């Protein structure tokens, strides 16, 4: 059975009469990178804060590492980056981590290891005042890694970073995932989540619309066909495959079949004297799925 490091049931937070988080059931499995996805104001931060015991739920329950949120034993096994990390600008990255390591009761050796993990070793002895925002953010992840946590919680880790900084952070999270770490990250960037996460929870207006693997969410995909004459192509495909699987859209036809059948489709169209201009397998992006789930309201 898959071990759940985070499990919530009907977790809810009201601010006044408005539910910022509305009866959500999150499940984060050990070893996965979980993307908590939603537009600004969807309730991600509030939900993450409830998991950490920083915000008291109005209703529902949460278990984190098998314990209630805020439990000191659970907190000791969680690494978190929930806002821009505070650093002493006059200290080097290494010395900043040393201070934190001492505070957290982590051995000094953890510092070099954490610096390595976030690829800051080269700049570790420079004052953090000279660091870019991206480097400071990576230092924040290094700080979260000092205690070898079982679960890393990162709230919008790429927020405010330039494209290069975002790419570095994505690569870092991807690497952490590849090492078998469990990461729960929030993001409003679909492309980002699609690249680095195993599973996704889609949040909108406090409600969890979907929770599934990225693969599942992207769904089956379809074969996109541009052919001439298109009417003739459609008639042939309607007849050869189930008409319900054929969907015209602008200049294209979309055919819901397995990608392996592409060659056969091509053959049949060509045999019927139809010119095939494009035959391509196409998966919907998370963005399109999100749009569909939210009824286009985002
Ligand atoms: N302390 C608070 N008091 C009142 N309303 C709040 C409080 N904290 C959050 N909210 C409201 O709850 C909703 C969800 O906010 P939250 O910060 O959790 O969203 P989010 O998805 O993390 O968005 P963002 O990415 O902008 O932080 C918002 O409408 C916000 O205004």
What ipTM, to 2 d.p.? 0.93
**What gap in Å lies between CA 73 and CA 80, rounded to an integer?**
15
Q: Is the pLDDT of residue 297 over 80?
A: no
285 pLDDT higher than 60? yes
Q: Pick the atom of ligand 1 nearest to 13's CA.
A: 12
The answer to whether 293 touches 34, Cβ cutoff 8 Å, is: no
pLDDT digits (tens, 9 = 90+) for 82-134: 877 788 999 999 999 999 999 989 998 999 999 999 999 999 999 999 999 99
Write out pLDDT tens, residues 249-259: 889 999 998 88
Q: State whether the beta carbon of 160 lies less than 6 angstroms from ligand 1.
A: no
Q: How many CA atoms lie within 13 A of 46 on its CB side?
A: 25
42 Cβ inside 6 Å of ligand 1: yes
Q: How far apart are CA 100 and CA 119, in angstroms?
A: 18
Give strand pairing partners of 183: 33, 152
- Give the residue, by CA position, lying nearest to ligand 1 atom 6: 15
CATH, range 4-217: 3.40.50.300
Residue 44 Cβ inside 6 Å of ligand 1? The answer reads yes
What percent of the chain clears pLDDT 90, i.e. is strictly above it?
78
Cβ(128) to ligand 1 under 6 A? no
Q: Locate the ligand 1 atom nearest the alpha carbon of residue 46 and give its number.
A: 18
Ligand 1 center–CA 46 separation, angstroms: 6
Residue nearest to atom 5 of ligand 1 (CA): 15
pLDDT of residue 153: 97
Q: Where in the chain is the domain with CATH 3.40.50.300?
A: 4-217
* Ranges for all domains in the chain classified under CATH 3.30.70: 220-282
Name the CATH code of domain 220-282 (choices 3.10.20, 3.30.30, 3.30.1370, 3.30.70): 3.30.70
What's the 229 CA to ligand 1 centre distance in angstroms?
53
Does the structure show a pLDDT above 60 at 269? yes
Cα(256)–Cα(260) distance, integer angstroms = 12
Ligand 1 pocket residue status of 201, Cβ below 6 Å: no
CB 247 within 8 A of CB 256: yes
For Cα atoms 207, 210, 215, give the angle at the middle one, nearest 5 degrees: 155
CA distance 167 to 94: 23
Does ligand 1 come within 6 angstroms of the Cβ of 90? no
């Amino acid at each position: 059975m898959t071990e759940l490091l985070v499990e919530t049931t009907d977790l809810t937070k009201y601010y006044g009469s408005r539910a910022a988080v509305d009866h959500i059931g999150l499940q984060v499995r050990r070893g996965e990178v979980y993307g908590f996805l939603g537009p600004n104001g969807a309730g991600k931060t509030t939900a993450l804060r409830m998991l950490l015991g920083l915000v008291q739920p109005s209703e529902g329950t949460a278990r984190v590492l098998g314990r209630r949120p805020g439990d000191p034993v659970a907190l000791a096994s969680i690494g978190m980056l929930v806002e821009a990390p505070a650093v002493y600008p006059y200290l080097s990255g290494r010395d900043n981590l040393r201070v934190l390591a001492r505070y957290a009761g982590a051995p000094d050796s953890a510092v070099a290891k954490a610096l390595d993990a976030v690829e800051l070793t080269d700049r570790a002895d420079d004052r953090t005042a000279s660091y870019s925002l991206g480097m400071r953010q990576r230092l924040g992840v290094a700080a979260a890694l000092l205690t070898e946590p079982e679960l890393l919680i990162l709230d919008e880790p790429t927020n405010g970073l330039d494209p290069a900084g975002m790419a570095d952070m994505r690569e870092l999270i991807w690497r952490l995932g590849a090492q078998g770490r469990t990461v729960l990250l929030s993001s409003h960037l679909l492309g980002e989540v699609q690249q680095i996460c195993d599973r996704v929870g889609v949040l909108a207006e406090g409600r969890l619309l979907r929770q599934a693997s990225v693969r599942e969410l992207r769904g089956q995909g379809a074969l996109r066909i541009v052919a001439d004459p298109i009417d003739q192509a459609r008639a042939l495909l309607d007849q050869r495959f189930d008409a319900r699987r054929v969907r015209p859209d602008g200049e294209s036809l979309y055919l819901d079949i397995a990608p392996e059948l592409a060659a056969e489709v091509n053959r049949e169209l060509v045999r019927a004297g139809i010119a095939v201009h494009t035959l391509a397998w196409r998966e919907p992006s998370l963005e399109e799925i999100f749009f569909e789930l939210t009824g286009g309201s985002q």
